[in-house]
Structure 1
Amino acid sequence: MKNKLMSLLLLLASTYTFAQVELTWKDLADITYTEKYYPDYGSNFLYPDFSKSIEELQGKEVSIVGYFLDIDPSGNLFILSKNPMASCFFCGASGPETAMEIQFKNKPNFKTDDIVVITGKLKLNKDDVEHFNYILTESTGLKMK
C-alpha cells in the first residue's frame, strides 16, 4: 500500500510540474510603464516593469485564450488579443498589456477574430520596441468552438 501511495504522489507531482500555467488577461495587466527615450527612434516609448508573479513565468510554458489577429500581409506577425480587432489596443481601446506576439512552431489555419487557446513559452520583452512586451515562442494553438 505504501508503494502504491508513493507512486501516485510521484505521478501527480510530475504532472503538476510539467503542466503549463493558464494565464489570464488580468494576470498580464499587472504591469506598470514609464516613458523611456530611445535615441535610435528619436522618441519615447512605454518601458514595462513586469510584476514579480509574471517575471517568475519567464521561459515557462503558458496557455491563454484570446482573439487571433493576423495583421501582417506578409504573414510574419501574429497577435493574440484580449479584444477583437475592432476594439484592440491598436484602435485605442486598451493598452499594450492586452496583446501578445505569437511565434508559432507551425502556424494553424486561424482567421482574424477566431477565439483561440495559444500555448507557448513566455518571453518578457523590455527593450526591443519592434516586438511586443509579451511574446509566446514555440507556440501551438487550438481554435475554440
Structure 2
Amino acid sequence: MRKSILLFLFIIFSCSLAKAQEKLTWEDFADVSFEPVYNKKYDVHFLMPKFGEKIQSHQGKQVSIIGYFLDISGSGEIFLVSQNPMASCFFCGAAGPETIIEVDFTEKPPFKTDQIVTVTGVLELNANNVDHCNYILKKASGQLVN
C-alpha cells in the first residue's frame, strides 16, 4: 500500500513539473503586430509591438523554445535564440523582430552560433525599451538539440 501511495505522489509531482514550463513555437511569438511610434531619445520612429492575447498569456511564465543560438556581440555578451540561422536572421533583413528572442542566461552558455538549442526561461514582453528585443527570456538555461 505504501508503495502505491509513493508511486501516486511521484506521478502527481512529475505531472506538475511537466506543466511548470510551456513549450512555445515560433508561431506563438508571431502573435504580435507593429505600429510606428516616435522615439525622442533617438529622434526616429520605431515599429513598436502590440502583443496579442495568446502571447500575453505567457508573460512572466517559464517557457521553452527551440531555435538557432546566436552570439550577436561576437564576444559572448549578447545572446539570442532565432527562428532562423545567422545568415537569414532578423538582423540580416530576412525576417521580422518576432523571430528573435533576447536571452539572459544564468550562466554563460557553451554554444556556438547556429547550433540548434532549446532555451528555457521566464518570458518578458518588452513593448517600450528599443535597446532590447521585444521578447526576452530571463533566468534562462539551454541545451543542444540532438
Q: Name the TM-score, length of structure 1 as normaliser.
A: 0.89
Is it true that 1:83 corresponds to 2:79 in the alignment? no
Report how many residues are paired: 143
Provide the C-alpha distance between the structure 2 equivalents of 1:8 and 1:78, rounded to a whole number of angstroms. Answer: 36
Give SS of 2:120's match.
strand
**Structure 2 CA distance, aligned partners of 1:79 and 1:119?**
12
Aligned amino acid, residue 85 of structure 1: M
Q: Is the 8 A contact 1:107 1:140 kept in 2?
A: no
Partners of 1:99 and 1:24 in 2: how far apart? Answer: 12
Alpha-carbon RMSD across the aligned residues, in angstroms, is 2.0
| Structure 2: gaps spanning 5 or more residues | none
Q: SS of the counterpart of 1:90?
A: helix
Once the two structures are superposed, what CA deviation does each residue of 1:76-99 show, in whole Å capped at 9, x if it has no partner?
100100000000011111100000
Letter in 2 for 1:35: P
Q: Could you tell me which of 13, 16, 22 is aligned with 1:14?
A: 16
Aligned position for 1:99: 100
Identity %: 49
Which runs of 5 or more structure 1 residues have no equivalent in the other structure? none
Residues 37 and 24 of structure 1: is their aligned pair in 2 closer, same or farther, counting only changes over 3 Å?
same
The one-letter amino acid of 1:14's match is: S
1:46 aligns to 2:12 (yes or no)? no
Q: Which residue does the alignment assign to 2:28?
A: 27
Q: Tell me the CA shift for residue 56 of structure 1.
A: 1.2
1:37 — aligned with what? Answer: 38
Deviations 1:21-77 (A, max 9, x none): 001001101110000000110001011011111111111000000000111034210
Specify the code of the residue in structure 2 equivalent to 1:50.
Answer: F
Q: Where does residue 131 of structure 2 map in the other structure?
A: 130
SS at match of 1:37: strand
Contact 1:104 1:137 in 2 (8 A): yes
Whole-Å separation in 1 of the counterparts to 2:34 and 2:44: 15
TM-score by length of 2: 0.89
